[in-house]
Amino acid sequence: MPVPPPDEEMLARMPMSRDEYERLRPRSRLTLFKQKTLNMIARIMLHRGLRLWLYRQMGVNIGHDCVVEMYAYLDDQFPELIFFEDHSGPSRHVIILCHDDVAAKAEPSGSSGGGFGNRHGFVAPVRLKRHSGVGTGSILLPGVTVHEGAYVGAGAVVTKDVPPYTVAVGVPARVIKHLKHSGGEQPSSPNGMGDELKAQ
């Protein structure tokens, strides 16, 4: 059985330290082995339905009518922190990460932080809202949300939220276009990269 997603209260506290998250939600080595094995199999699975089933068994939260293309790499350490709402999903060779240990390595060994051996980074969820998509070869870093109706262009590195009904491209990803949607007026940008674009 996959690790269930955290409750809303815990999600609201993220990003949180990886050590704290693992203390609150421990998992066995067998569970980690299963998650990593399922990820390797799912990445090369030809049958779309079976691929989605494998990712769900791994712990990824996948809604209705989603697509996860072959060769996508979904975080296999904390897959329960990945959320694909209905009609969303990543294309081929997309990387979605929910943890980052590199930031923890900024302090050299022997510093007051305790050194490389016993320091970890943070965890944070990655969300694809309804009717959103991520282009080939893109990278989504921990804590980002691709909002409803938004699209990420091929090869982008997403470091901040992508506002609803926009297209974001580049390294780092920036909004280049606002899309029309059936709801009428354009939605406001929720703490994402759209505000930066308007300021330019």
In a domain, 83, yes or no: yes
Q: What is the pLDDT of residue 184?
A: 52
In a domain, 1, yes or no: no
In a domain, 129, yes or no: yes
Domain span at 13: 8-181+189-194
CB contact set of 57 (below 8 Å; sequence gap of 6+): 2, 38
In a domain, 199, yes or no: no
Which two three-digit tokens encode residue 131?
């009717």
- The pLDDT > 90 percentage for the chain reads 77
- Binned at pLDDT 50, 70 and 90, residue 101 comes out as confident
In a domain, 22, yes or no: yes
Handedness of CA 5, 101, 36, 19 (dihedral sign): negative
pTM: 0.84
Q: What is the pLDDT of residue 199?
A: 34
CB contact set of 64 (below 8 Å; sequence gap of 6+): 86, 87
**Number of domains comprising the chain:** 1
Q: What is the pLDDT of residue 120?
A: 74
In a domain, 3, yes or no: no
Residue 2 has pLDDT above 70, yes or no: yes
Residue 105 has pLDDT above 70, yes or no: no
In a domain, 46, yes or no: yes
Nearest to 76 by CA among 122, 112, 40: 40
Is 100 or 125 the better-scoring residue by pLDDT? 125
In a domain, 200, yes or no: no
CATH number at residue 58: 2.160.10.10
